[in-house]
Amino acid sequence: MNNFVFYSPTEFVFGKDTEAQVGVLVRKYGVRKVMIAYGGGSIIRSGLLDRVKESLQAAGVTYGEFGGVQPNPIDTKVYEGIDICRREQAEMILAVGGGSVIDTAKAIAAGVPYEGDFWDFFIGKEKVTKALKVAVILTIPAAGSEGSGNSVITKIETLQKLSLRVPELLRPVFSIMNPELTYTLPPFQTACGIADMMVHIMERYFTNTQDVEISDRLCEGTLMAIIKEAYRIKQNPEDYDARANMMWCGTIAHNGTCGIGCEEDWASHFLEHEISAIYNVTHGAGLTVIVPAWMTFVSRHNPKKIAQFANRIFGIPESEDLEEMALAGISRLKHFFRYLGLPVNFKELDVENPDIERLADSLHRNKGELVGNYVKLTKEDSKEVYRLAL
């Protein structure tokens, strides 16, 4: 096991009706003026925005509003948010929504006290040294941004989708998680969220680091819980306990717990971010196309952990031929994704003729000569993974 620092100060307030506590929680963190950030309107239709405002008013917290954040959030919305927060002197950004809203809130939080262009942080030109506080009311378990210090933003001019990681400053101070808020999710978004959290675990599980039994078992246990609850949610989207377990799985999948002591991979995410940047597909659906292709490719070179996954998650019997075991597991995984109604190749993603040269060029321009760790991908390897996803 490698050395590690694990710092996860977010206060999670979980359960039915917990959004009613938002006003009191904001005050607890010494804040009197918040900016409520949200997406395309689901929280208006569900009545959540009104309940949030009520709770803030009751606690004597004043607020501004910043709506219209789109999925695969973009830099122009961040600039807009920085202006509004400065003008209204917001002390905290309250993100009410999913990864797109939370990530926009984090980028704004880093941008407000900084005199230069916030994009400097995403391209590694500057380090974040100060940020507004961010708090969350989560409406979709997926990106894990409610417990992570990461933000993923697309620069629209260059179609670069890049991530920023600053756990010490950008982790939300509190995250309110009411599983009932997820009942209104369209089945496709529920499914994409499930796929995303599974892959967050797999990026950590597929490691060459030896003797990480605790991380292996946390990963396997969480993956198995996700698969079990996915079946229950598919049968009854308003099954509270299934939704509750799934929601917490999404947080555990990405708050660092599962990857403790491991060298993590992340090639699948980087391969996917190029797809959602260029073709504006939903991140989870891009992942279910890329991950089986990536697993197939790496099984040729380093099948050990993929075979272990096949055996422990899908019960594929042990055999001396690790690649064969791995391929059997990949086939079961694809079957599961299809059961959820998700695509497993570019065609099913409605990207008929992906521009593989462009995807690979952009990937290696953004991420360097070699991508990932479990197997380090050259540009030729990346092209092969994209081809395997056709």
Q: Give the whole-angstrom CA distance, residue 177 versus residue 357.
A: 41
CB of 185 to ligand NZQ, least distance (A): 5
Q: Which two tokens stand for residue 279?
A: 């073709």
Residue 371 Cα distances to 205, 228, 294, 365, angstroms: 17, 32, 12, 11
Among ligand NZQ, Zn ion, none, what does residue 244 contact (CB within 5–8 Å per kind)?
A: none
Site string for ligand NZQ, 255-294 (x = CB under 6 A): --------------x-------------x-----------
Token pair of 187, please? 């089945």
41 binds ligand NZQ per the rule CB under 6 A: yes
How many residues interact with ligand NZQ (rule CB under 6 A)? 34
DSSP 146-191: TT-SEEEEEETTTTEEEEEE-HHHHS-SEEEE-GGGGTTS-HHHHH
Which range in 42-50, 191-199, 203-211, 307-315 contacts Zn ion by CB under 5 A? 191-199
> Smallest distance, Å, CB 213 to ligand NZQ?
25
Of 202 and 310, nearer to ligand NZQ (C-beta) is 202
- Contact flag: residue 100 with ligand NZQ (CB under 6 A): yes
Q: Does 146 interact with Zn ion (rule: CB under 5 A)?
A: no
Site for ligand NZQ in 216-255 (CB under 6 A): 254
Please identify which residue in 13, 40, 155, 228 interacts with ligand NZQ, judged by CB under 6 A.
Answer: 40
Confirm if 131 and 169 have CB atoms less than 8 A apart.
yes
Q: Whole-angstrom Cα distance, residue 323 to residue 303?
A: 5
142 binds ligand NZQ (CB under 6 A): yes
The yes or no reply on residue 190 touching ligand NZQ (CB under 6 A) is no
172 binds, among ligand NZQ, Zn ion, none (CB under 5 to 8 A by kind): none
Measure the CA–CA gap between 114 and 109, rounded to whole angstroms. 9
Q: Which residues of 148-158 are buried (b: 16+ CB within 10 A; e: fewer)?
A: bbbbbbbbeee
Is there binding between residue 202 and ligand NZQ (CB under 6 A)?
A: no
Question: How distant, in Å, are the alpha carbons of 35, 84, 105, 204, 314 from that of 67?
Answer: 10, 11, 11, 34, 42
Identify any residues that bridge with 134 across adjacent strands, giving them in sequence order: 93
With residue 92 as reference, give the H or E element that holds it: strand 92-97
Question: Is 134 in a helix, a strand, or coil?
Answer: strand
Least distance in Å: CB of 349 to ligand NZQ? 15
Stretch in the footprint of ligand NZQ (CB under 6 A) among 70-78, 126-134, 224-232, 366-374: 70-78
Contacting Zn ion (CB under 5 A), which of 91, 196, 264, 381?
Answer: 196
Question: Which of ligand NZQ, Zn ion, none has residue 181 at its interface (CB below 5 to 8 Å by kind)?
Answer: ligand NZQ
Q: Applying CB under 5 A, which residues contact Zn ion?
A: 196
Q: Give the footprint of ligand NZQ on this chain (CB under 6 A).
A: 39-43, 71-73, 97-101, 103, 139-140, 142-145, 148, 150-152, 181-182, 184-185, 189, 193, 196, 254, 269, 283
